[in-house]
Amino acid sequence: MIKPPKAVVTCLGIAGLITIGGCATTHEPSATAVAEPEPIEVHQWDRWRIAGQPMPADYDRQARAGTTMVINLRTQPEIDRLDFDPRNEVESRGMTYVAIPMGGDEGYTPEQLGAFTQAIDGVEGPILIHCASGGRARHLWAAYFVEEEGIPLDEAMLRMEEVGGRPALMERLLGHRFHYTIGEPLPEPEADQP
């Protein structure tokens, strides 16, 4: 049997002690590992909260702030890409969850506005409306004011500005502001041909 040199045995022994000591040592998580993520930007107007996609910590904040309902306007394919279940996160914090998918294959329809109006009927307390970035949420919210509360379109659009909606994408593309007016009703979609 060949014996290793004393220096090698000593080095291996020290390395083993360091390894064993390291395994037995408990480390406190670093401040960055346990820090709460930055909150999403939430725009407020009276009891309304308009935002992009909340994370679980944001649902905690909303529950603590007294939010009673969360309305999610994201489509199912968008929700499927999240690493958490928004309905579960909202309901586990005692808030009501409502899904009204908009955009993508769901499009934008008066029925979605009707579903929104029905969902909020009789609800007291703050309501959070969100999508991915807040754009769909702002538009649905403003459409509600026009259709259900009789607010003039120009005023509803100005309210959108207060909740992060201005300058609008079209205004940014054109490089100037513009004013809105209500025109003729949209034509009814043609029935699908067989």
Give the Cα separation of 160 and 157 in Å (integer): 5
In a domain, 137, yes or no: yes
Count up the domains in the chain and report the number: 1
In a domain, 26, yes or no: no
In a domain, 15, yes or no: no
In a domain, 146, yes or no: yes
- pLDDT tens track, the chain, 194 positions: 555 555 544 444 444 444 444 444 444 544 555 566 788 899 898 999 999 999 999 999 999 999 999 999 999 999 999 999 999 999 999 999 999 999 999 999 999 999 999 999 999 999 999 999 999 999 999 999 999 999 998 888 888 887 876 666 677 788 877 766 667 777 877 765 55
What is the DSSP secondary structure assignment for residue 44, as one 8-state letter? E
Give the Cα separation of 8 and 132 in Å (integer): 60
In a domain, 182, yes or no: no
State the maximum Cα–Cα separation within the chain, in Å, rounded to a whole number.
98
Pick the closest to residue 156 from 166, 144, 169, 164 (CA basis): 144
pTM passes above 0.75: no
In CATH, what number is assigned to the domain containing residue 90?
3.90.190.10
**In contact, 127 and 62? CB cutoff 8 Å:** no
**In contact, 138 and 50? CB cutoff 8 Å:** yes
Range of the domain at 64: 37-174
